[in-house]
């Protein structure tokens, strides 16, 4: 049996002591730490958090350990029956996927903190947490002790240890759901239970079953602006802030990410691309299908809030507007397809990266899902929806753990609708193209029009410059391709000093953004410590237009039916 013990070592410096007893049937044993964690498709470099690694034989004799690779070590085990590995782990960044430890909290994510030798070991794995505070995330087998059949189960099990955790419960189809809240603002318990249960029931209704015997929402509040969720089969961790008070905006963000993460139980935790089946923890796992496991999840998470009556039609159109606005603002849609961008999450998928280089499997994936949903509804008079497609994909490729491919996706879509979606995939999934025409067609099905209006601030529309603000200074956050700012030679991150001699300062911000009475624009800016001046060319075009979606008045029966069945 493999036995892990996790203890606090120096909470003031975020340090844990982790010990593990591992069987070692050969003279040489390799040790590994996962190269990444599921739910975050980028290299983790978790070994940077490991210090003071030592290995001992059954007699307590220290063994030789050598670093063999980025995430691997080799131990001369001298035919020992087992070895004991001991190391310190620094958990100093709190988000939903990390391991974090301080004087009041342990948030353990085993996948990025527990060293292992044989990933296929399946003869019982024991995890013990030496902490006096209560633990949440999985019903323990004993006091702060859990047993796992294999590493996939262990690595998919986050655990929270903390005091002052408030827990709410509800059940759906006799499956218990727990909502654990730590440092969260006060939200009426009745509202949380009612809303969480409502979107849970809608998701159950579409899939007909749940892959787990229990589920835990672990909600952690932070004092700063933040939102991050990570999916697991029997739980999700959500870190959200600021937690000073419960505003309606805060609560809607929480509901959106909670519904999203619950949907992941089916979509990616059970139903996965063949490329990710099974997970390979020691290497990177590439897939072109992120628009399904993240894009569809983003779309359906909010659709279930709409179907459950938690948000109304106008609120959903606002969500759709933001997705479309992000798409239109990103020139990367003409540079890289969403399928290629799925592979490149491993390169720079979670940072801003090179401007105009790529799109997002979350944002563009959600728009792909919306367009597919409308086409399926249109082709079948609403008998088949995107939820029908996902249910069929789950039944064929999720329950069998076979994993799906793009070919399988196209075959299932055709079998449900008799429509060949190959041209759609060539243009919008595998091609670097704008989605405007496809979105307009999808919106027309719902009787909704898309209008592009000048942006809120004339400065943005005239110059093609989006401003950012950092520590009192103004900088260029984004440039419209072909806009006056780009044409004049400006660059992202340039610090703006003045416009026609008027300093970029808070007291002048309103005047600058409105450009009242200004014909020629001269900008003074700083780059690399050097101050420069440019005059922007004047063009008869508006940049960074604002997307406005309007549900038009209609008496057309089919459109009214479409609106009613979709929920707007």
More confidently predicted of 514 and 352? 514
Let me know if domain 2-161 sits in CATH 3.40.50.2000.
no
**Sign of the four-CA dihedral 410, 411, 416, 418:** positive
Q: In what order do the strands lie in the sheet with 72-76?
A: 28-32, 72-76, 65-69
| pLDDT above 80: residue 495 | yes
* pLDDT tops 90 at residue 107: yes
Sign of CA dihedral 251, 252, 253, 258: positive
> What's the pLDDT tens digit per position in 445-477?
999 999 999 999 999 999 999 999 999 899 999
Six-digit token pair at 47? 């070994």
What CA–CA distance (Å, rounded) separates 127 from 125? 7
pLDDT at 372 over 90: yes
Give the integer Cα–Cα distance in Å for 253 and 241.
Answer: 10
- pLDDT for the residue 524: 97
pLDDT reading at 274 higher than 80: yes
Percent of the chain with pLDDT strictly greater than 90: 93
Per-residue confidence (pLDDT) for residue 349, from 0 to 100 = 74
Which residues of the chain does CATH 2.30.42.10 include?
Answer: 458-535
pLDDT digit string, tens, across residues 308-322: 999 999 999 999 999
Please name which of 422, 431, 417, 409 lies closest in space to residue 292, comparing C-alpha atoms.
409
Give the model's pLDDT for residue 195: 98
Distance CA(328)–CA(333), nearest Å, equals 8
Residue 555 has a pLDDT of 86
Mean pLDDT of 179-193: 97
Q: What is the DSSP string of 401-430?
A: ---B-HHHHHHHHHHHHS---HHHIIIIIS
Backbone phi and psi for residue 304, each to the nearest 5 degrees, phi listed first: -70, -30
Paired residues of 465 in beta bridges: 479
Cβ atoms of residues 232 and 269 within 8 Å: yes
Contacts of 316 (CB under 8 A, 6+ apart): 302, 303, 305, 306, 567, 568
Q: What per-residue confidence (pLDDT) applies to 13? A: 97
Query: Which residues belong to CATH 1.10.390.10 in the chain?
Result: 164-265, 272-444
Instruction: Calculate mean pLDDT across residues 260-273.
Output: 98
Q: For residue 232, report the phi and psi dihedrals to the nearest 5 degrees.
A: -145, 165
Q: What is the pLDDT of residue 216?
A: 98
Each residue's pLDDT tens digit, 524-540: 999 999 999 999 999 88
387/565 Cα distance (integer angstroms): 13
Is the CB of residue 83 less than 8 Å from the CB of residue 22?
A: yes
Over residues 390-438, the pLDDT tens digits come to: 999 999 999 999 999 999 999 999 999 999 999 999 999 999 999 999 9
CB burial of 30-42 (b: ≥16 within 10 Å; e: otherwise) equals bbbbbbbbbbbbb
Contact yes or no for 409/292 (Cβ under 8 A)? yes
Q: How confident is the model at residue 7 (pLDDT cuts 50, 70, 90)?
A: very high
Phi and psi, residue 535, nearest 5°: -110, 125
**508 beta partners:** none
**Measured between alpha carbons, how far is 265 from 187 in angstroms, rounded to an integer?**
25
pLDDT in tens, 124-152: 999 999 999 999 999 877 788 999 999 99
Domain 272-444 CATH (choose: 3.30.360.10, 3.90.1200.10, 3.10.20.30, 1.10.390.10): 1.10.390.10
Could you give the CA distance from residue 563 to residue 445 in angstroms, rounded to a whole number?
8
Helix (H) or strand (E) holding 86: strand 82-90
**Mean pLDDT value across residues 87-92:** 98
**Torsion angle defined by CA atoms of residues 332, 338, 339 and 344, in that order, rounded to the nearest 10 degrees:** 50
* Radius of gyration for the chain, computed over Cα atoms and rounded to the nearest angstrom: 26
CATH entry, 164-265, from 1.10.390.10, 1.10.10.10, 3.90.650.10, 2.40.70.10: 1.10.390.10
423: left (phi over 0), alpha (psi -120 to 50) or beta: alpha
CB of 83 within 8 A of CB of 57?
yes
Q: How confident is the model at residue 306 (pLDDT cuts 50, 70, 90)?
A: very high
The residue-averaged pLDDT of 187-195 equals 97
**Region 96-125: what's the mean pLDDT?**
96
Give mean pLDDT, residues 360-376.
98
Determine the average pLDDT of the residues in 335-348. 95
**pLDDT score for 518:** 84
| Residue 211 reports pLDDT greater than 80 | yes
Q: Which residues pair with 179 in a beta bridge?
A: 168, 217
pLDDT band at 351 (very low <50, low <70, confident <90, very high): confident
- Helix, coil or strand: residue 70: coil
Measure the CA–CA gap between 75 and 23, rounded to whole angstroms: 12
The half-sphere exposure of 151 on its side-chain side, counting CA atoms within 13 A, is 23
Cβ-count burial 66-100 (b if 16+ within 10 Å, e if not): eeeeebbbebebeebebbbbebbbbbeebbbbbbb
Q: What integer pLDDT is reported at residue 176 of this predicted model?
A: 97
Beta strands in 372-482, from DSSP E residues, in sequence order:
448-453, 465-470, 473-479
With 90 as the cut, is the pLDDT of residue 193 above it? yes
pLDDT above 70 as % of the chain: 100
Q: Chain-wide mean pLDDT for the chain?
A: 95
pLDDT score for 554: 87
Q: What contacts 417, CB < 8 A, 6 or more positions away?
A: 375, 376, 379, 380, 384
Structural tokens at position 122:
């399946």
Q: 458-535 in CATH: which number?
A: 2.30.42.10
Which of the pair, 519 or 251, is modelled with greater confidence? 251
Indicate the SS3 state at residue 331: helix
CATH 2.60.40.3650 in the chain is located at: 2-161
Q: Which residues touch 355 (CB under 8 Å, ≥6 apart)?
A: 331, 332, 478, 479, 492
């Amino acid at each position: 049996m493999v036995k892990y013990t996790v203890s606090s070592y120096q909470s003031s410096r975020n340090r844990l002591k982790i010990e593990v007893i591992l069987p070692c049937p050969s003279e040489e044993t390799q040790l590994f730490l996962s190269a990444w964690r599921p739910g975050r498709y980028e290299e983790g470099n978790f070994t940077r958090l490991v210090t003071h690694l030592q290995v001992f034989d059954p007699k307590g004799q220290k063994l030789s350990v050598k670093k063999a690779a980025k995430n691997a070590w080799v131990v001369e085990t001298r035919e020992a029956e087992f070895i004991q590995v001991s190391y310190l782990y620094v958990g100093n960044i709190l988000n939903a996927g990390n391991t974090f430890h301080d004087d009041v909290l342990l948030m353990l994510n085993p996948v990025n903190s527990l060293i292992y030798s044989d990933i296929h070991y399946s003869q019982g794995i024991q995890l013990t947490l030496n902490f006096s505070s209560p633990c949440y995330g999985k019903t323990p087998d004993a006091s702060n002790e859990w047993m796992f059949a294999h590493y996939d189960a262990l690595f998919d099990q986050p655990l929270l240890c903390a005091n002052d955790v408030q827990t709410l419960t509800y059940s759906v189809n006799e499956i218990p759901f727990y909502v654990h809240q730590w440092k969260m603002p006060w939200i009426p318990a009745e509202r949380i239970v009612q809303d969480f249960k409502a979107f849970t029931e809608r998701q159950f209704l579409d899939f007909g079953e749940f892959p787990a015997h229990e589920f835990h929402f672990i909600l952690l509040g932070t004092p700063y602006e933040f939102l991050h969720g990570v999916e697991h089969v029997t739980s999700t961790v959500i870190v959200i802030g600021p937690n000073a008070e419960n505003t309606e905006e805060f609560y809607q963000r929480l509901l959106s990410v909670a519904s999203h993460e619950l949907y992941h139980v089916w979509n990616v935790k059970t139903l996965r691309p063949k490329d990710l089946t099974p997970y390979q923890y020691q290497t990177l796992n590439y897939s072109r299908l992120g628009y399904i496991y993240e894009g569809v999840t983003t779309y359906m998470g909010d659709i279930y809030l709409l179907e459950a009556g938690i948000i109304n039609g106008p609120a959903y159109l606002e969500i759709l507007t933001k997705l479309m606005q992000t798409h239109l603002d990103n020139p990367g849609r003409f540079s890289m397809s969403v399928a290629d961008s799925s592979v490149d999450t491993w390169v720079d998928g979670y940072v801003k990266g090179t401007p105009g280089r790529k799109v997002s499997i979350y944002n563009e994936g959600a728009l792909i899902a919306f367009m597919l949903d409308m086409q399926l509804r249109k082709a079948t008079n609403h008998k088949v929806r995107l939820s029908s497609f996902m249910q069929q994909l789950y039944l064929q490729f999720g329950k069998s753990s076979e994993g799906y491919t793009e070919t399988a996706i196209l075959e299932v879509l055709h079998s449900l609708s008799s429509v060949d979606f190959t041209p759609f995939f060539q243009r919008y999934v595998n091609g670097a193209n704008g989605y405007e025409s496809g979105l307009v067609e999808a919106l027309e099905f719902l009787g909704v029009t898309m209008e592009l209006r000048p942006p809120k601030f004339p400065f943005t529309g005239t110059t093609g410059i989006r401003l950012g603000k950092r520590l009192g200074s103004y900088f260029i956050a984004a440039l419209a391709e072909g806009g006056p700012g780009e044409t004049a030679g400006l660059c992202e991150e340039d610090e703006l000093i003045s416009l026609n001699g008027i300093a970029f300062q808070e007291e002048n911000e309103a005047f600058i953004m409105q450009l009242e009475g200004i014909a020629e624009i001269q900008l003074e800016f700083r780059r690399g410590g050097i101050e420069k001046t440019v005059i922007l060319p004047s063009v008869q075009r508006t940049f960074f237009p604002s997307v406005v979606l309007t549900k038009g008045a209609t008496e057309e029966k089919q459109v009214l039916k479409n609106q009613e069945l979709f929920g707007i």
